[in-house]
Structure 1
């Protein structure tokens, strides 16, 4: 297949995806480019359900975690004041061990074990809509004394490292948005903005939407955003920036290589997640990119460092799968086959012998600690997530699931959930934070006044229970792991250490 035929195939596929966004619903844009410029830009849906103005490649959205590589570029730019091998505690002395001993590099490459701030707040009963400030959150993080796992032993996604390193740079007088304007947006002549909080005005920003059972809802979030996901701009602006990055244009020469360089775990294995970038593959070809997700916004970009090509997907609707679109477009361009998804691992719930680890299989999708990934056929009975940010490779032996999750060896056994008994009944609290959890009648009860809700507990054995928490656009399955007669922890994929004690 000729290169031009490849671009025609990629454009046709992108157009088909864009056409699936109806003219009376939120939408998005898909852009393909090479070193010479934009090859196509297709859009569908609307940028506002109030005005019904069409979504275009110039509609401004929140990039969410697509921000991360741009912040990592700022860290490298200021390597004379903060180094990747520096301990976080050197720059943020209020942090306690073991968080203080995590290095800057591990804080950025997802191997640091740092509990995710947003999921910590969820486990304390705070809604996605609850407003928080940067200073308050840093003070909260300075009280933590547990990691999700020993630094360097696993890879698991968390935004907290970016928040902490941003705070360290701010103390030295370096603000993220200043870097964006001076080093990226200005030189490239594009509009990018990194607001501090959700309610900060951003020129041209379109609303984000999520689909409730019966209608679309406006999105919102109260968490101070931080450089883990604060950047906003259009699809066209993101395409221009990533084009300059993959082409090594001018001052950006060599930057992509530095950001995407292999980052080793403690045992020397390369993880596939660099500094705000993750590797993926089709056949023998390797690509680098990243996705982003805020309530009501989805984004993704995927780059071919060899051919200097790329695809950008931005959207103001919660249900967009940017990775699927970008990878499909790259497959169409290159002629490579998409990975097969015919996973034969039996549906059902699986748990580790000890600890809070659980995984549920359903139609080839693995939900591990409430983080979902499609599993692809790797041959010889093995199935892989093919995700550098949530790596997973498993096989079914007939008795157990075996393999690796987060690059750590795992073995999980099938289990049938049962209704919870009365063994956990009572009032539970986090003395330091004032959070309260009541358990009675086989349910976990959280909230006050009209937000008070009872969530049935399902016993999955070994002192572990699952319950489902609804919070606006999010549905979270939380694991309650009993640590002792009067001590338990609540666990999600990105926060595995929030402890409660039973009141006497």
Structure 2
């Protein structure tokens, strides 16, 4: 039995708290296959102008945008088994063999563009066009790993798929989206970057501990995250997906069809949607994050209902969405982990690490919330990454992360490996890196300015750097190779490869 009254009350409790806070806010919209059933808004869309955030306030969708592109590709008849090189003849050979489907389901091992830029010292606030980003992609020396082995989030495949669709359609992606949403009369649009004017758009904010600050993202968005519209408009789009209305007949079934790893097991990540569950009820949805914007949408296809949460504040939206949907479906929220290990863990070898708090995990820099599963272990509520772990005492964990079996052990107090200090040069991108014996490092940043970081040593010639920029934090692993070279690796990007150079010689 669906309980719309309780779900609406839960939504208003959240939005009213945003209003009482006197800062940025958001909107929550409940829907079924017929359309919007309830909606609430609170807080400010513009703190400076004291403009209220309502369900009709335009906001940035961020990565919720992805399933729009997947829908357009499916409707255009793209073969998911087609090689990217067959769709884009000018693609570097290192990427050409990747199948389109793997580029979309995050198993292609494609390095993520933003994270490569960040590791190379280009802040995500820098204004870069699609051509600028493509120029960087042409320098990729290879992939993160073997396609089909692991689900590792990357926007790069979606960026390339957008270009392939535009070339086949011979029209810009913004026009493709306009034609896709026109039959539903929805005020949803594609924007290529943050400089495009969107009337009434909510400003994005993040809190620095003292007050609210404006978020900024300078890179070209691409179809992986460039959609904009209101929470109510997104809910009406999702309603049409659920019901298979008009030109969307059968689309959701194709979007959520299981995608498989090389070993045949199913991935939680599909085509721009992530599979999860609430009790025994199957859910699909996706999150979206840009500096100052956090959104989530969840649908229960069998029940024909869903919830959209859209905010202009840098705070988790997944749990809020789940709270409202649980009330609607009459389900209990998943329990928090009990007595789960916390602290820093790492695999015996390689750049694999995780830091656990009582209810969350950062795996190689990818953040997910954790809950207790039915067997006494831990599982993620995957905004992006599916995680299932079982503690083996207080100092180790075993399970699958992104489809790969892992064993992680607690990191003991570890001195910096004496082989790490020195001067390093990455020849492919012409980058300099200095590691000092005292455990500090000077990382590439903003041309030759450099970024000072305190390293966290891991056993086996490894250390975590710490790059903080605005509301976001990046912790790449510096990983010494058997041949004496140094790799820089994170969940999304693992292609920077440094060679040692004579002390003081970084020419």
Q: Decide which moves more: 295-304 or 449-458.
A: 449-458
Counterpart selection for 1:328 from 311, 323, 329 = 323
Q: Decide which moves more: 429-438 or 118-127.
A: 429-438
Structure 1 residues 188-244: Cα deviation after superposition (integer angstroms, max 9, x where no partner): 112112111221222221211111121111111111110000000011111111111
Q: Answer yes or no: is 1:197 the counterpart of 2:197.
A: no
Counterpart selection for 1:48 from 46, 50, 60 = 46
CA distance in 1, matches of 2:5, 2:123: 45
CA distance in 1, matches of 2:34, 2:457: 58
Superposition map of 1:64-103 within 5 A:
64-79=62-77, 82-103=78-99
CA distance in 1, matches of 2:456, 2:36: 52
**What residue number does 1:224 align with?**
220
Are the aligned partners of 1:74 and 1:176 in contact in 2 as well (CA < 8 Å)? no
CA distance in 1, matches of 2:47, 2:449: 28
Which blocks of at least 5 consecutive residues in structure 2 are unaligned? 503-507
Three-state SS of the structure 2 residue aligned to 1:20 is helix
**What residue number does 1:356 align with?**
351
**What residue number does 2:505 align with?**
none
CA distance in 1, matches of 2:299, 2:343: 36
**What residue number does 1:182 align with?**
179
Q: Decide which moves more: 146-155 or 102-111.
A: 146-155
Superposition map of 1:15-34 within 5 A:
15-23=12-20, 24-34=22-32
**What residue number does 2:455 align with?**
457
**What residue number does 2:109 align with?**
113
Change (3 A) 1:203 1:387: same
Change (3 A) 1:110 1:343: farther
Displacement of 1:21: 0.8
Change (3 A) 1:58 1:425: same
Counterpart selection for 1:211 from 207, 223, 231 = 207
Three-state SS of the structure 1 residue aligned to 2:238 is helix
Displacement of 1:388: 7.3
Q: Answer yes or no: is 1:438 the counterpart of 2:434.
A: yes
Are the aligned partners of 1:71 and 1:176 in contact in 2 as well (CA < 8 Å)? no
Are the aligned partners of 1:302 and 1:310 in contact in 2 as well (CA < 8 Å)? yes
Three-state SS of the structure 2 residue aligned to 1:379 is coil
Q: Decide which moves more: 57-66 or 332-341.
A: 332-341
Are the aligned partners of 1:210 and 1:216 in contact in 2 as well (CA < 8 Å)? yes
**What residue number does 1:14 align with?**
11
Counterpart selection for 1:124 from 99, 120, 130 = 120
CA distance in 2, matches of 1:63, 1:388: 14
Displacement of 1:419: 4.2
Are the aligned partners of 2:417 and 2:462 in contact in 1 as well (CA < 8 Å)? no
Three-state SS of the structure 2 residue aligned to 1:99 is helix
CA distance in 2, matches of 1:448, 1:83: 40
Three-state SS of the structure 2 residue aligned to 1:47 is strand
Q: Answer yes or no: is 1:340 the counterpart of 2:335.
A: yes
Change (3 A) 1:145 1:95: farther
CA distance in 2, matches of 1:15, 1:242: 21
Are the aligned partners of 1:99 and 1:145 in contact in 2 as well (CA < 8 Å)? no
Which blocks of at least 5 consecutive residues in structure 1 are unaligned? none
Are the aligned partners of 2:335 and 2:371 in contact in 1 as well (CA < 8 Å)? yes
Structure 1 residues 326-376: Cα deviation after superposition (integer angstroms, max 9, x where no partner): 211111111111111124332122111110001112213221111122222
- Give the total of aligned pairs: 497
Structure 1 residues 426-471: Cα deviation after superposition (integer angstroms, max 9, x where no partner): 3222222222222223211133699543211221111110121111
CA distance in 2, matches of 1:175, 1:448: 32
Three-state SS of the structure 1 residue aligned to 2:255 is helix
Are the aligned partners of 2:53 and 2:202 in contact in 1 as well (CA < 8 Å)? no
Counterpart selection for 2:154 from 151, 158, 163 = 158
Displacement of 1:486: 4.5
Q: Answer yes or no: is 1:380 the counterpart of 2:378.
A: no
Q: Decide which moves more: 397-406 or 156-165.
A: 397-406
Three-state SS of the structure 2 residue aligned to 1:418 is coil
Are the aligned partners of 1:271 and 1:388 in contact in 2 as well (CA < 8 Å)? no
Counterpart selection for 2:138 from 130, 142, 149 = 142
Change (3 A) 1:39 1:205: same
Displacement of 1:500: 1.9
Are the aligned partners of 2:294 and 2:313 in contact in 1 as well (CA < 8 Å)? yes
Change (3 A) 1:387 1:286: same
**What residue number does 2:33 align with?**
35
Three-state SS of the structure 1 residue aligned to 2:36 is strand
Change (3 A) 1:341 1:487: same
Structure 1 residues 30-82: Cα deviation after superposition (integer angstroms, max 9, x where no partner): 01112333221111100101110111111111000010000001111221xx4
TM-score by length of 1: 0.94
Change (3 A) 1:58 1:451: farther
CA distance in 2, matches of 1:455, 1:420: 14
Are the aligned partners of 2:417 and 2:460 in contact in 1 as well (CA < 8 Å)? no
**What residue number does 1:502 align with?**
500
**What residue number does 1:390 align with?**
385
Change (3 A) 1:445 1:152: same
Are the aligned partners of 1:128 and 1:472 in contact in 2 as well (CA < 8 Å)? no
CA distance in 2, matches of 1:360, 1:288: 26
Are the aligned partners of 2:121 and 2:446 in contact in 1 as well (CA < 8 Å)? no
